[in-house]
Structure 1
Amino acid sequence: MPSEDMQRQVVSWVDDHRDSLIDFTCDLVATPSVNPPGDERAVADVVAARLKKLEIGEPEIVAKEPHRPNVLCRMKGADGGPVLCYNGHIDTKPVGDGAADDWETDPLTPTIIGDRLYGLGSTDMKSGVASLIYASAALRAVAPTLRGDLLLALTADEETGSGYGAIHLANDYGLKADIALIAEPSGVRRELEQICIASRGTFAFEVRVRGTQMHSSISDQFPSVNASVKMAEILARMQHELVVRHDPHPLYPGGVTRNVGVMVNGGVWYGVYPGEASFACDIRILPGMTPADAQRDVEAFVDGLRAADPDLDVEIVSAIHRAESMTMVQPEVPADDPFVRILQDASATVTGEPIPLGGFAGGTDAIFLHGYGGIPTIPAFGPGLLPLAHGANEYVGLESIVQACKIHALAALAYLE
């Protein structure tokens, strides 16, 4: 357990470097890393340069493809000691054509208004990345000798499947740690609302319906099936009737979330009776479940539709292309894990009371760090509000960045000192 004096030094270091921390967060937001299409080279350069400037360690670039770099940096401690991995992704979702008009500021220009920093990636999750980097610098300044390693793993490609990022590091590179924390935004209604020890996974899939493509002027004169209409009927029934079975989970009283029709496509042009139509869905599954569990219920539902309509031509196509990912169980870190207790103690030091434990509504790279690398991973504890991610006028509270940095630094100090 670190002394109170060392803890005060850590907090003081973050306070003394507050402006630099905020400025660096702005630098990250100002450096586009939109995915898709996906190219993190520029933001990786900004990250690597700051790691060198803060003398945290020598950054290592690990890339499956040159334009998809991950940045690793290890603060070396005693040989044979524990390894704590701090993880965050450096890519962002696109602005989106529709959302672009709704922004009140330029999404790629970091803008501070009052106590908020606006910009694409501010909450998801460039502020979290900045917090982890400056927490590491605080640790380096106050406790240069550690009993184990602090490993920063700042990854590409989280927003489109993590194949170039966490999966590559955990499965191909061989990333290893005793425990990991991801600084995803853990607030829903207020920032730093919870320490998320579990996250939900996703079964993403497409429902493809085939009909009778022909000249639309004679569709009423011959036997025909309008694929778009049939698709709409299936979509409506799936929205109201699909049941995905699951055991109750205390962190997710609402259970599984079904998102039907997140994308819709059908038809060719005027004059063409539609012969093919499709819609996409994503189902958010609970810890302990696998995507294959949800797929079985979806297939059973569609089988029931086929039985009632022998002419129905429909198939379910999974959007999960790695077979092993279909059977990965959504992970959860036990509430009594020593590092979880350390985090809560650190949060009490900074905020005055322990931040409660909760479950992250979405998915994070925890599934891949655990599933491929065997690393127990806290899926989300960082600044920002999840409801602001992937939408217009994304922002993060400046004070939440500073508080998160202090908590990240104190937790690393307690675990490694």
Structure 2
Amino acid sequence: MSARSEMVAGWLEPRAGEMVDFLGRLVAEPTENPPGTGLGRCARVLADQLQRLGLEPELIEITGPHTLEDPHIVRGSTGAGAKLLYFHGHYDVVPVQDRAQFAMRREGGRLIGRGTADMKGGIVSMVYGAAAAKELGLLGDGRIVIHLVPDEETGSVVGAGYLREHGLIDPSAVAMVTGEPSGSSIWNAARGAISLKVGFEGREAHVGQATFGINTFAHMVYVARPLLAYAEEMAGRPTGYPMNPADPTGSMVVVGGLSGGGSNFNVVPADAWFTVDSRFNPEEDLDAELARMTTIIREAAAEVDAKVTIDITQFQPPAGTPADHPAGAALARCAEEVRGEPAAFEMCGGILENRWYDQLGIPAFAFGAGRLDVSHGPHEYVDERELFRVAAVYALYANEMLDQP
């Protein structure tokens, strides 16, 4: 371990209990999204902790059309130099399988509870990494800005999108990193997303007069069939980006993740709908794929004279920074300095808020202590020791990017 790493570890280790306590308080805030509740209260918990650590918090109320409960962006900062490094995270979580998941527990070196991996644990690492860099004088001629947002789990347009829309992301930043659950890897790329809701309009009829009705369920099934074939085709088109060997390399399309319609079991359904959700590899042209899906739906509907509507509920581009970019190489060096082994670069199988920064030309990465394979599950956890190690990586990365020639 280098002298610099020892200095950072020496600052973090006495605060290990404090970090665990902070994570426990965040987990206890039930920021489930959907529906997006408890966000304002959690934002204030975050702001209070940043204040205690001297990270100059600001609460930004998110205005405009949305259905979230009291959403705020928590914006912290430290340093006053010209170089700018962003730490970014989200404090909303997916719904729990059991309300007990909002009470964090320690077990065998693991911190278990909703959001420990995705990504309240990542927030703790980022915040304490920034505080360590500040207290140890590692910022040089630079500054860190921390963005903590809601709404990542439901598209991120309200949260991170607000930052972009209101000019709160400076394109001159040297890099951005987020504490998403990348495990021991660095995610330097992520897929893009298109989500659709496909609806059908028919005519009700009593089961005894079913031939008088127009059955939208039949139309839905007919239209879904060629979409399933399309999903199979896309799964067979692998990405050129390195991925976790356990993950599928093709673009992923889920047809019918949600569906509904009808008024009763004995009535011909006059309405029906289903969703299509996709994660496209960076090599794919999202506009072209949206056009393909739309054509498939409309042509199949025309074959059975179905009245169909297509609502685009999400359209988010992929993100990717080359693994050999100097900002990525610096992050890999810091990870190896702390962990003693190289960090592999991989593409995330989902979408990341890196894209809001990537679109402005900012090198953007994800690196966090959690693991994707346990995130969102009933036994979500983060390794306690990794929480501290990743905080050290963040502190070293700030020094590498802001205080080195």
TM-score, shorter chain, exceeding 0.5: yes
Q: CA offsets per residue over residues 345-389 of structure 1, 9 Å max, x none?
A: 111111111110001111111122333x443321x2101111222
* Superposition deviation, residue 178 in structure 1: 2.7
Are 2:295 and 1:300 equivalent residues in the alignment? Answer: yes
- The AA in structure 2 aligned to 1:345 is R
**Contact 2:191–2:317 (Cα < 8 Å) also in 1:** no
**Contact 1:193–1:356 (Cα < 8 Å) also in 2:** yes
The corresponding residue for 1:28 is: 26
Q: CA offsets per residue over residues 186-238 of structure 1, 9 Å max, x none?
A: 1xxxxx23100001121000122233321221114x4x432113313333442
Three-state SS of the structure 2 residue aligned to 1:382 is coil
Q: Which runs of 5+ in 2 are unaligned?
A: 64-68
Q: Give the aligned length.
A: 389
Comparing 170-179 and 360-369, the one that deviates more? 170-179
* Superposition deviation, residue 27 in structure 1: 1.3
CA distance in 1, matches of 2:32, 2:371: 19
CA distance in 2, matches of 1:123, 1:290: 31
The corresponding residue for 1:384 is: 370
- The AA in structure 1 aligned to 2:152 is E
Are 2:167 and 1:185 equivalent residues in the alignment? Answer: no
Are 2:47 and 1:53 equivalent residues in the alignment? Answer: no
* Superposition deviation, residue 406 in structure 1: 1.4
Comparing 127-136 and 332-341, the one that deviates more? 332-341
Q: Superposition RMSD on alpha carbons, in Å?
A: 2.2
Q: CA offsets per residue over residues 41-86 of structure 1, 9 Å max, x none?
A: 111111111112122x2111112239111111111232xx321100
CA distance in 1, matches of 2:26, 2:180: 15
CA distance in 2, matches of 1:286, 1:383: 24
Are 2:3 and 1:5 equivalent residues in the alignment? Answer: yes
Are 2:258 and 1:257 equivalent residues in the alignment? Answer: no
Residue from 53, 67, 71 that aligns with 1:68: 71
* Superposition deviation, residue 241 in structure 1: 4.2
- The AA in structure 2 aligned to 1:25 is L
* TM-score, normalization by structure 2: 0.89
Comparing 115-124 and 155-164, the one that deviates more? 155-164
C-alpha distance 145-383 of structure 1, shift in aligned 2 (>3 A):
closer
**Contact 1:180–1:375 (Cα < 8 Å) also in 2:** yes
**Contact 1:24–1:130 (Cα < 8 Å) also in 2:** yes
C-alpha distance 32-337 of structure 1, shift in aligned 2 (>3 A):
same
Residue from 196, 208, 213 that aligns with 1:217: 208
The corresponding residue for 1:43 is: 42
Three-state SS of the structure 2 residue aligned to 1:319 is strand
Equivalent residues in 2 for 1:71-90 (5 A)?
71-78=74-81, 81-90=82-91
CA distance in 1, matches of 2:200, 2:19: 51
Are 2:111 and 1:111 equivalent residues in the alignment? Answer: no
Three-state SS of the structure 2 residue aligned to 1:70 is strand
CA distance in 2, matches of 1:84, 1:289: 30
Q: Please list every run of at least 4 consecutive aligned residues from structure 1 whose deviation after the TM superposition is greater than 6 angstroms.
A: none
- The AA in structure 2 aligned to 1:200 is R
The corresponding residue for 1:206 is: 197
C-alpha distance 86-145 of structure 1, shift in aligned 2 (>3 A):
closer
Q: CA offsets per residue over residues 94-130 of structure 1, 9 Å max, x none?
A: 22xxx33xx8xx1111111221111111111000000
CA distance in 1, matches of 2:304, 2:194: 27
The corresponding residue for 1:353 is: 341
* Superposition deviation, residue 408 in structure 1: 1.4
The corresponding residue for 1:189 is: none
* Superposition deviation, residue 303 in structure 1: 3.9
**Contact 1:289–1:329 (Cα < 8 Å) also in 2:** no
C-alpha distance 150-241 of structure 1, shift in aligned 2 (>3 A):
closer
C-alpha distance 241-359 of structure 1, shift in aligned 2 (>3 A):
closer
The corresponding residue for 2:66 is: none
* TM-score, normalization by structure 1: 0.87
CA distance in 2, matches of 1:394, 1:366: 23
- The AA in structure 2 aligned to 1:214 is A
CA distance in 1, matches of 2:113, 2:285: 34
Residue from 300, 304, 310 that aligns with 1:316: 310
Comparing 175-184 and 140-149, the one that deviates more? 140-149
**Contact 1:29–1:121 (Cα < 8 Å) also in 2:** yes
**Contact 1:58–1:73 (Cα < 8 Å) also in 2:** yes
Are 2:168 and 1:161 equivalent residues in the alignment? Answer: no
* Superposition deviation, residue 145 in structure 1: 5.2
Three-state SS of the structure 1 residue aligned to 2:228 is helix
Are 2:124 and 1:125 equivalent residues in the alignment? Answer: no
Q: Which runs of 5+ in 1 are unaligned?
A: 187-191, 321-325
The corresponding residue for 1:323 is: none
